[in-house]
Structure 1
């Protein structure tokens, strides 16, 4: 059982910050984020007791963390036993964004195509990352005009993803381990785990990293290929892509009016959609 943080006894000195952190176990599945949180706290000389008392404001300011990052590390701290308040999950910033460049096929690189098909499907089926991790090829059917995604919760029509789907299927079928994999988004290389294998199921964290790399590479592509009058717009788009996460991508797709496919995020999506419509309405 993970040890939770406990305050010092009355009139007893606190442990040095580094020793206090060393007494805590990292929460399962968040070892990397836990280490980063500790490093950020120790830079300011904060142990778990001081962090619990002062909150995340000083750490966030020192690291220039955005609200979404603060929300993440606050959650990690709570999972590790440091009692921090729960900050509200921020709305996407900006509230609207052109996501189509992330769905465009630019090469036959397997990693590129795997993420492009993910983005193309998520634009119309904005499921949480865990749903994509578990999505099997047998659940996705290509018709003449669109993809159809079938889950235990229903069936969804996904227009606009056929090109990416066929390109990804054609390339993955060149490699036996990928061709035989049941997963829509399989591992392309072995990871550190004993059970990791090419064609195996990726972890949610690995998928998040894959998306981030794709967004950054798309930003570089936009900067390198856009000229003339579209340069300013491409530069602004690239700047957002450089820090875009899949969670934000999903929220933006929902805010654009795509029907929610899971309870998570549905209320916030409806709120964002109303805000977008209000912003677009002409003044009375």
Structure 2
């Protein structure tokens, strides 16, 4: 376990921020996030003692972090020994949203097809991003009307995703590295890591970035294709998509009636459904 940060004694001068961060070890499994937290703090001249004292509000404001990002880095800071309060993961806002545009095919670009297939699967199989990261092609079997997914948590039938799935499979089979990959959502290009390769397994963070990019591209395409009579509705949808994360997408799918795949997010989805029912009444 990393040692917890200790406040300086009153008679001792504070340790320079860079040295103070260097004295702390990253929590296991969070080396990248810890380094980014430290870099963001150092840009503002903050050491661990300062962050523990004032929280992440100053850093979040400077970096433009969303509430979900603040929740993530608060958790990482606590794992690293900084006594920060852990904010609750924000509820999806709005509590209901049309997610179907994210599942629709609008071209033959492999990156778009991969994202559309992911969203089509997640609309009726709303698994956490970590489960999608580790989902293998041999765990998914296509029938005439639905996809069948086998996982450690059980077997699932997913209707409505066949079109996007077959389009993605056909596209990836044109590239040997993607065709040979065992992953449902493989890397399409090499990343900065030494072990990164085309067809390799993406990280959770890379998948989150992929989803955000897909949502923004969908906004652009909806605007380009919207007739004048639909422009206001499209702008309202675009405003929601601009801040949509995969975690919110998953909770919205659960709130819309998709069966729970894992325990995470189910309570929040139920609260969102109850809140929507109260507001409608």
TM-score w.r.t. structure 1 length? Answer: 0.90
Q: Does residue 103 of structure 2 align to residue 103 of structure 1?
A: yes
* 1:162 matched residue in structure 2: 162
Identify which range, 270-279 or 136-145, moves more after superposition: 270-279
Q: Distance in 1 between matches of 2:205 and 2:184?
A: 16
Q: C-alpha distance in 1, partners of 2:224/2:27? A: 41
Corresponding residue number in structure 2 for 1:215? 215
Give the TM-score, by structure 2 length: 0.91
Residue equivalent to 2:113: 113
5 Å matches for 1:138-149?
138-149=138-149
Native 8 Å contact 2:48 2:82 kept in 1? yes
Task: Name the counterpart of 2:182.
Answer: 182
Q: Deviations over 1:18-77 (max 9, x none)?
A: 332233334455445434433443454432112212222333344443322221221122
Residue 80 of structure 1, CA deviation: 2.6
The number of aligned residues is 281
C-alpha separation in 2, matches of 1:62 and 1:175: 42
CA contact (8 A) 2:147 2:158 kept: yes
Q: CA deviation at 1:149?
A: 1.4
Tell me the equivalent position of 2:152: 152
Alpha-carbon distance, 1:187 to partner: 1.6
- Contact 1:133–1:185 (CA under 8 A) maintained in structure 2: yes
> Is 2:218 the partner of 1:206?
no
**Do residues 195 (structure 1) and 195 (structure 2) align?**
yes
Q: Secondary structure at the match of 1:107?
A: coil
| Aligned positions of 1:32-51 closer than 5 A | 32-51=32-51
| Aligned-pair CA distance for 1:2 | 4.6
Cα offset for 1:114? Answer: 0.7
User: Per the alignment, in what secondary structure is the counterpart of residue 90 of structure 1?
Assistant: coil
Q: Distance in 2 between matches of 1:238 and 1:33?
A: 29
CA distance in 2, matches of 1:191, 1:40: 22
Which stretch of structure 1 is more off in the superposition, 35-44 or 213-222?
35-44
Contact 2:115 2:210 in 1 (8 A): yes
Compared CA separation, residues 186 and 65, structure 1 to 2 (3 A) = closer
* Equivalent in the alignment of 2:79: 79
Contact 2:110/2:171 (8 A) holds in 1: yes
Q: Partners of 1:61 and 1:46 in 2: how far apart?
A: 14
Q: CA deviation at 1:212?
A: 1.3
Q: Within 2, Cα distance between the matches of 1:215 and 1:194? A: 29
Q: CA distance change for structure 1 residues 41 and 197 in 2, over 3 Å: closer, same or farther?
A: closer
Where in structure 2 are there 5+ consecutive unaligned residues?
A: none
Shifted more, 41-50 versus 268-277: the winner is 41-50
Report the secondary structure of 2:113's partner residue: helix
Contact 2:114/2:185 (8 A) holds in 1:
yes
Structure 1: state its 5+ residue gaps.
Answer: none
Structure 1 position 3, deviation (Å) = 5.2
